Structure formats: C-alpha cells, structure tokens
Amino acid sequence: MEKVRRPAIPSRTVSLTSYGAVGDGMTLNTEAFAKAISGLSAKGGGHLVVPEGIWLTGPITLLSGVDLHLEENAIIVFSADQDLYPIINTNFEGQDMRRCLSPVNALGQKNISITGKGIIDGSGDKWREVKKQNAPPKVWKDLLKSGGVLSDKQDVWFPDEGYKAARATSGNFNKPAESLDENYIKTFLRPVLVSIRECEGVLLEGVTFQNSPAWNIHPLFSRNIIIKDINVRNPYYATNGDGIDIDACENVILQGATFDVGDDAICIKSGKDEDGRRHGIPCRNLLIDRCTVYHGHGGFVVGSEMSGGVENIKVTRNCYLGTDVGLRFKSTRGRGGVVRNIWIDDIKMKDIIANAVIFNLFYAGKAATEAKGGTAAEEPVFKADITTPEFCGIHFKDIVCNGAASAIFINGLPEKPVRDLTFTDVVISADKGIEVNAACDILFERVTVNTPGGDAPKVTGSERISFK
C-alpha cells in the first residue's frame, strides 16, 4: 500500500458570504455555493469558508482543488425540495441505476476536501420510509400527523404514494421496476448524502455528517482517501441509514471516526452481481483505526455487495457498543467475488444484540435481528462457478465482547466453504457459543466463550477445525 497523502489545496481563502450567501436558515444559497466553488477551482483551488450560521442550500458539487471548510457552529442544511435534485445515472447498492443527485457530490475530481468543525445535515427524514417496529411511539405518531401513506399492513410509513408503489416492486433491496415512471417514484430514488465518485485525493476531517436520505458517506471507484475524526449519525430507525460505505476504492485511511446510525456503520463493498463483476474494481488497501460505533446493524461489515472483491484490510482499536452485530461478513449466491487478506485486531465490544462475529453466506437483505433461515446443512448444494462468493484468509486477534446473543456464527456455502480463518486471544460472553457450518481450515487458539450453559462448539459440514 502506497502512502496516502492529504490533498494539495492552495492557500487561497474566500468566504461564502462574499458571494451573497445568508446564513439565516431561510435563504436558499445554492447559487452562492456553486459560484464560490467554480470560481476557486478555476483559479487552481483554495478554501471556501462557511462561517457560523445555518446555510440552507440545494446540492453542492465539489470541484478539483477546493476545500469546503465549515467553521465551528456552521450548519449546512439541505433543502427537502426534490426539484433541486435531478435524477442521474449513478451506482447504488452495487448496481448501476438512476437515483437523485446527492446533496454533496463530486465526480472525477482531484484534491478535494471537506474540513472543519461544522455540521452537514441532509434533511433525510423527508425522504426515508420508517418501519413502525423500529420507530419510537412519538416518532410514529408524528409521522402519521405529517401526511404520507401507510403500507397495506399499516406497519410502514412512506413519504408518498410513489414511494409505496416503488417499494412494492423492489423487495428487500432498492431497485424498483423499470416500468414505473421515475418522476412519480422520485422520493424512493433518494440519494446518499455524500457521493464521491471516480475521485483521487480526498479528505474528510472533523465534520459531522447527519440525517442522510440514504447512506451517509459513499466513496465509490476512488483512491487515496483520508477520513479522519468525523462524526456520522442518523436516527436508529433510519432505513438504509449506513454510516460509511467504502465501495470499490483503493488506498483508504479511516481513523478516529464515531458512528451512531440506522444501518451498517463501517461497510466495505465492491459491486453487486453482474454489474459488480463487469466493473471488476476491488476494494483494497484500507486501514481502519480507532473508530467507535454506538448503534448500527454492524460495527465493521464486509458485503453483501462484494462482487468485485475485497482484500488487504487492517481493522484495529475499534469499539462497538450496542450494535446488532460486531464484526459482520455477508453475501449470497450470485455475487461472485473474493474477500481475503483481512486482519482484525484489538476490538472491544459490549451489549451486542445478535452476533459478536458472523459469516452469513445466505444473506437476504435483512438485519441480523430480523433474519431467519436455515444453515448450510439444510440447503441444497450448487455447483461453484463465477457467481459463487468466496471468503478466506481472515484473521481475528485480541477480540473482547462482554454480552451478545451469539458469540461466533459461521454459515458458509456447502459448494465453497468459508476457509482459512484464525481466532487468537478471543474472549466473549454470550447466550450462545460457537457454531460452524460449511467451513474448513479454521483455528481457534486461546478462545474463551462464556455461556450460561457452557455450550460446546457446534460444527457441521466442516473439516480441519482446530481448538487449542
């Protein structure tokens, strides 16, 4: 892995107010942001300073050489007016599709950054669906008063009829039927808050990113990225409210970040199924250090979109408190791709709702707390081919978890078992112990799992499993 350097930003500095912007939370400042950024970039770049205030705006497009710098108590709030967000060709959940332009976006740029101590708010509550089972009673009551429509079972709130129609055709994922008019279902085509595509030399530092329409931060097909000391937060009931999805990127450092979100917190991806294999861009060379996750479907996650491959990752000194899963690896038949060479070291976990560590190769688009289904031993065996995902060469060391429903659950594919895993110096207190299905060449060395019944490891359809 080559050394990742901070982007080169010239010292030139201008204030957003120089372009007529007003930080009163009422004035729309889209034009001021656009003029300031294009003017700086045309001169070779510089720092656009956003002073204290509430700055209402439409989409902000970052250009080469520009640093968007938010001073303390500066809050950028994106308008919920959908007319400001055109539908574009993009990539979401690993597939090429049409979605709304992201509030913060960059395509094919070099040396860009977002820095400072301010807040970027995506007004995501105007875009997202909400499941009744996930929402606090007051939130649900307020949603019913605000308008929108309910599902036929009265258990999901949708912002409008178009969203409901799109959801009815998309299953557990987010690709609606192509026959639906995209303007009618525009709310369903909600964007990620920050979209960085095909860029090189990116820095996100110090800023709080919150309330995203879908995922919070999505670097895609990009390289040489530093993400440091940021805060990412969404309501815990935020559908698809991921923290960060590092997708088919190379040379990335994520350090000192804090997450409190409604879906996976730190997620590694590389495309989905045929589209992912066609792009064929792996996610590789990542350092993830000193991150804290307070809530999320997973603390550190790989997949389920990993068709382009994931390799060469080190995760160290992370803490997860109250997440659904601690360390989560997921995929399913049809993905293809290889996940390998991952080192996970010095992880502290507490009060994990489901699994401290899980490999689930039968993922079906649901959170671990909602997922139901059989194990590899109960599934038919298929012939392995290019569409069969593979997980191998993944190493866990110095892992401590105080409280989980399940300690370690490995559920591989019988046609291509999970292989070459090591667990060294691991201590977990959980309701259930270790279960291994369809795996081979796994070493448990100095692993202690404390359960109420003193469960012995359960191993089926596996071979060369060693406990020392």
In the chain, the largest separation of any two C-alpha atoms, in whole Å, equals: 69
Q: Which residue blocks in 205-313 are alpha helix, DSSP H?
A: 273-279
Q: What is the pLDDT of residue 439?
A: 97
Answer yes or no: do 247 and 292 share one domain. yes
**Which residues, 6+ apart, have CB-to-CB distance to 295 below 8 Å?**
236, 259, 260, 261, 262, 322, 323
Which of 77-81, 165-169, 284-288, 364-368 has the least mean pLDDT?
364-368
Query: Domain for residue 85, yes or no?
Result: no
**Does residue 321 surpass a pLDDT of 80?**
yes
Q: Is 460:439 a contact under the CB 8 Å cutoff?
A: no
Distance (Å, whole) CA 241 – CA 261: 6
- Which of the four pLDDT bands, split at 50, 70 and 90, describes residue 376? low
Distance (Å, whole) CA 191 – CA 211: 12
Determine the structural domain holding residue 139 and report its residue range.
Answer: 130-186
> What tens digit of pLDDT does each residue of 37-96 get?
999 999 999 999 999 999 999 999 999 999 999 999 999 999 999 999 999 999 999 999
Answer yes or no: do 368 and 452 share one domain. yes
Query: Domain for residue 258, yes or no?
Result: yes
Q: What is the pLDDT of residue 172?
A: 73
Q: Is 296:326 a contact under the CB 8 Å cutoff?
A: no
- Which of the four pLDDT bands, split at 50, 70 and 90, describes residue 347? very high
Answer yes or no: do 281 and 399 share one domain. yes
Answer yes or no: do 329 and 428 share one domain. yes
Structure tokens at 278: 């066609």
**Does residue 374 surpass a pLDDT of 60?**
no
Answer yes or no: do 299 and 374 share one domain. yes
In the chain, what percentage of residues exceed pLDDT 70? Answer: 98
Query: Domain for residue 72, yes or no?
Result: yes
Question: What dihedral do alpha carbons 429, 431, 433, 435 form, nearest 10°?
Answer: -140
**Does residue 372 surpass a pLDDT of 80?**
no
Answer yes or no: do 291 and 435 share one domain. yes
**Does residue 195 surpass a pLDDT of 80?**
yes
Answer yes or no: do 156 and 217 share one domain. no
> What tens digit of pLDDT does each residue of 386-443 get?
999 999 999 999 999 999 999 999 999 999 999 999 999 999 999 999 999 999 999 9
3 state SS of 139:
helix
Q: What is the pLDDT of residue 171?
A: 77
Identify which of 250, 361, 265 has the alpha carbon closest to the alpha carbon of residue 304: 361
Q: How many domains does the chain have?
A: 2
Answer yes or no: do 358 and 454 share one domain. yes
Q: What is the CATH number of the domain that holds 366?
A: 2.160.20.10
Distance of CA 247 to the CA centre of its chain: 9
Structure tokens at 222: 């990009």
Answer yes or no: do 143 and 244 share one domain. no
In the chain, what percentage of residues exceed pLDDT 90? Answer: 94
**Does residue 25 surpass a pLDDT of 70?**
yes
Answer yes or no: do 155 and 261 share one domain. no
Answer yes or no: do 147 and 204 share one domain. no
Query: Domain for residue 236, yes or no?
Result: yes
Answer yes or no: do 182 and 263 share one domain. no
Distance (Å, whole) CA 373 – CA 357: 18
Average confidence score pLDDT of the chain: 96
Higher pLDDT, 287 or 455: 287
CA angle 99, 309, 95 (to 5 degrees): 15
Distance (Å, whole) CA 111 – CA 316: 27
Q: 142: part of which helix (H) or strand (E)?
A: helix 137-146
Reported pTM? 0.97
Identify which of 50, 57, 52 has the alpha carbon closest to the alpha carbon of residue 73: 52
